[in-house]
A and B are shown apart, each in its own frame.
Chain A
Amino acid sequence: MGNHYRVVIGAVIILAILGGILYKGSQSTVFYFTPNEIGQAPERYLARTIRVGGLVVPNSTKWDPDAVTLWFTVTEDFNSGIRVRYAGPKPDMFREGQGVVAEGILDERGLLWASTLLVKHSEDYKVDPKQVTDKKMAYKSLLRE
């Protein structure tokens, strides 16, 4: 009987720890903040490195190849957004309307000075329309590139 109690107590302790991690995690573990969260209380996000995630607003992008600097606006709802200045090469997967996560420091004017730019991938997959029309084998077109 004593052995059974030990197993039960051990299981309860482990489950309690797991539950605690889950509870804590579900409250604080966000990989990025959204532009609206920051817009509500910008002063809370100043003077530290933060990640901001959202969609790139169409026609908001400006790429300066000489300065290797990319400007764009991220938004959640296309009403308000945060302007981002990213110093670095433009990622290949960067598109307007695409989800991105920018990491940097927010200044008092609400501009995010980003040093890292990650592109989110959506869960939706689509066939490349070019390949369907010309029916060429995928690897052949790749070798030519």
Chain B
Amino acid sequence: MVAILGWVSLAGLAALGVWIFAFTPSDDLMGFSQKIMYLHVPSVWVAYLAFFVVFFCSVGYLWKREVLFDRAARCSAEIGVVFCGLVLATGSIWGRPTWGTYWVWDARLTTTLLLFLVFVGYVVLRAFAEPGEKQARLAAVIGIVGFLDIPLIHVSVQWWRTLHQPSTLFKVGEQGRPAPSLPPEFLWPLLLGFVAMTLLYAFLLLYRLRVAALEDDLEQRLARQ
């Protein structure tokens, strides 16, 4: 069942690759480098989703002290770090031909790097600190506070003057109506990207949870001996 999810998401990503390179027109200004958007923006979504799961499960753990919550938060954080790293890498690769620089310290990029570093710290803590309830509690607090950076990232392009452009998908038109500013030729493959990447996240999370359950089981057996 989990394997099917993995194959479907891979097929979706392969189809996305064919679609954007062979059948999608280029952007008027950026040309070819705009295509990195189909990877960058869905990665942002998955990173946010993964860290939301961390947030949700961390609150759940602090409230109910249920080990399953703690395990899910730990697994989701690892995947979130990978996708957040992907966001930074693809954005940087896109920034060079478009802006003329790989990196600037504007509010959007800095708050995104902060998110990445907080959760790298989270993963390091989970890997090296003494396992147990104390570690789980501390990690849960970091997970909750770290997640609070995400709304900040989202509004950073409106609150502050940044090099990064404001949101295309959440653009507001006249009379406050939503008016995403990209043609349907770009929007449809982007939506496929969202679906495929979300399935990939679900696959990775379920698989990682299975491994984590085995790890915990093994540790208990070893402790008993």
Contact = CB atoms under 8 A, between A and B. Distances in A.
Question: Chain A interface secondary structure, helix, strand, loop or mixed?
Answer: mixed
Contact of B160 (A18, A31, A122): A31
Contact of B99 (A120, A122, A126, A131): A120
B188 to A, nearest CB: 13
A25 B160 contact: yes
Interface stretch (A57-65, A67-75, A77-85, A136-144): A136-144
Interface of A: 10, 14, 18, 22, 25-26, 29-32, 53, 91-93, 95, 101, 116-129, 131-132, 137-139, 142
A119 B100 contact: yes
Nearest to A93: B98
B186 A125 contact: yes
Nearest to A32: B161
Interface string B152-189: 10000001111101111001000000000111011000
Question: Which label, helix, strand, loop or mixed, suits the secondary structure of the B interface?
Answer: loop
B26 A138 contact: yes
Contacts of A128: 25-28, 31
B107 interface: yes
Given A126-B29, A126-B183, 8 more contacts: A32-B163, A92-B97, A93-B97, A123-B168, A125-B186, A127-B26, A127-B27, A138-B22
Given A118-B101, A121-B30, A142-B32, A127 B161 contact: no
A119 B99 contact: yes
7 contacts: A29-B107, A29-B160, A31-B160, A53-B161, A120-B165, A121-B98, A122-B165
A60 B138 CA distance: 58
Contacts of B152: 22
A129 B163 contact: no
A125 B183 contact: yes
B98 A125 contact: no
Interface of B: 21-32, 34, 97-101, 104, 106-107, 141, 145, 148, 152, 159-163, 165-168, 171, 181-183, 185-186
A132 B25 contact: yes
B196 to A, nearest CB: 20
Given A31-B163, A101-B163, A127-B185, A117 B100 contact: yes
Contact of B166 (A10, A30, A123): A123
A129 B99 CA distance: 22
Given A127-B25, A128-B25, A30 B160 contact: yes
Nearest to A98: B29
A125 B34 contact: yes
B26 A30 contact: no
Contacts of A93: 29-30, 97-100
A93 B186 CA distance: 20
A116 B165 CA distance: 19
A14 B26 CA distance: 45
Q: Which 9 A-B pairs have the closest CB atoms?
A: A125-B182, A126-B28, A131-B25, A31-B106, A123-B168, A124-B181, A123-B165, A30-B161, A91-B100
Contact of A121 (B31, B32, B99): B99
Contact of B145 (A14, A117, A129): A14
A138 B21 contact: yes
Nearest to B108: A31
A142 B30 CA distance: 13
Contact of A31 (B100, B162, B165): B162
Given A93-B100, A119-B100, A128-B31, A138 B162 contact: no
